[in-house]
Amino acid sequence: MSFEEPPASEPNPRRFGQFSLLTLILLTTTIGVLIPLFTLPQQCAQARLQLSHLLRLETDAFQQPWRQISASRRNVPGSQGFAWEVFVPNGDHFQLAWTTSGLQTDRATNIATNAASLTAGEHVIVIRYLRENEVWLLQTLVDDRVVLEERQPATWNPQLGSYSPSSGIDAVQMPPQAGRCFLHDEVFCMPDREIEEAENSGKAATGLRVWIEKVNAPY
């Protein structure tokens, strides 16, 4: 009995449009490299143009003081509060806002708990808080008129001291698009229950943060 090996099958001829997996990988890699080479110069040119435009706007704003928010601290006799002389430019809408909690978060993203519209022109803004029995009365006045008012429990300020991230700043001048113009930023110290006999801790989240900011539409 003899066994004959079957004839080896011949490979099918490759049709038009067919290619191997290796060819597909190489083609995909080549396209992925070439596309950024053609688009990157255009994207860089657009980025340089936008940066130049932003720098020009910032330069124009600083060269034109009447287009900036300006604030200078004003002396107030006794303990009547904290006062600022403020100039608000024309052409945009602004609001005076404050928050009394969550002060451990970033100042730029802190959510306002109260706000009021602020018209263009010169103003005198007074920020004050005083204790009445077991309640704290918080007020912000614009030109002797109360525009923001809030009451907080006695625990809002345990009177163990406070610290201010912006202490020592007596004047501020900035273009409206630069962000918030802070007038008051005070964080109250709280008892630290984790440490025995500790008087206070800087980890408090209550206090008073007041600022002026640009808004997209009238408040």
What backbone phi and psi angles, to 5 degrees, belong to 69?
Answer: -85, 125
Q: What is the pLDDT of residue 2?
A: 53
Domain ranges of the chain: 19-63, 66-215
pLDDT, greater one: 82 or 63: 82
Residue listed under structure tokens 């600083």: 62
Strand partners, 85: 72, 124
Tell me the residue ranges of DSSP E strands in the chain. 69-74, 82-88, 93-99, 114-118, 121-132, 135-142, 145-153, 162-163, 171-174, 181-188, 207-215
Q: What is the pLDDT of residue 44?
A: 81
Q: What is the pLDDT of residue 129?
A: 92
CA 80 distance to own-chain centroid: 30
- Max mean pLDDT among 35-39, 40-44, 71-75, 195-199 falls in 71-75
pLDDT, greater one: 106 or 196: 106
**Do residues 170 and 150 touch, judged by C-beta distance below 8 A?**
no
Q: Alpha-carbon distance 43 to 48, whole Å?
A: 9
Q: What is the pLDDT of residue 123?
A: 94
Per-residue pLDDT reduced to its tens digit, 114-163? 999 999 999 999 999 999 888 999 999 999 999 999 999 998 988 888 87
Q: For the chain, give the percent of residues with pLDDT over 90.
A: 26
Other C-beta atoms lying within 10 Å of the C-beta of residue 51: 10
Per-residue pLDDT reduced to its tens digit, 170-185? 888 888 888 889 999 8
- Max mean pLDDT among 72-76, 108-112, 139-143, 187-191 falls in 139-143
Q: Alpha-carbon distance 59 to 121, whole Å?
A: 22
pLDDT, greater one: 74 or 203: 74
Q: Alpha-carbon distance 54 to 36, whole Å?
A: 26
**Do residues 208 and 184 touch, judged by C-beta distance below 8 A?**
yes
pLDDT-derived band of residue 192, with 50, 70 and 90 as boundaries? low
Q: What is the pLDDT of residue 34?
A: 77
Q: Is the pLDDT of residue 80 over 80?
A: no
Question: DSSP letters along 47-68, please?
Answer: HHHHHHHHHHHHHHHHH-GGGS
12-18-24 Cα angle (round to 5): 130
Q: Alpha-carbon distance 59 to 65, whole Å?
A: 11
Q: For the chain, give the percent of residues with pLDDT over 70.
A: 73
**Do residues 152 and 113 touch, judged by C-beta distance below 8 A?**
no
Q: How do beta strands 207-215 and 145-153 pair? A: unpaired
Per-residue pLDDT reduced to its tens digit, 89-110? 988 899 999 999 887 767 777 8
Q: Is the pLDDT of residue 8 over 80?
A: no
Mean pLDDT, the chain, as a whole number?
79
Q: What is the DSSP letter of 99?
A: E
Q: Alpha-carbon distance 175 to 180, whole Å?
A: 10
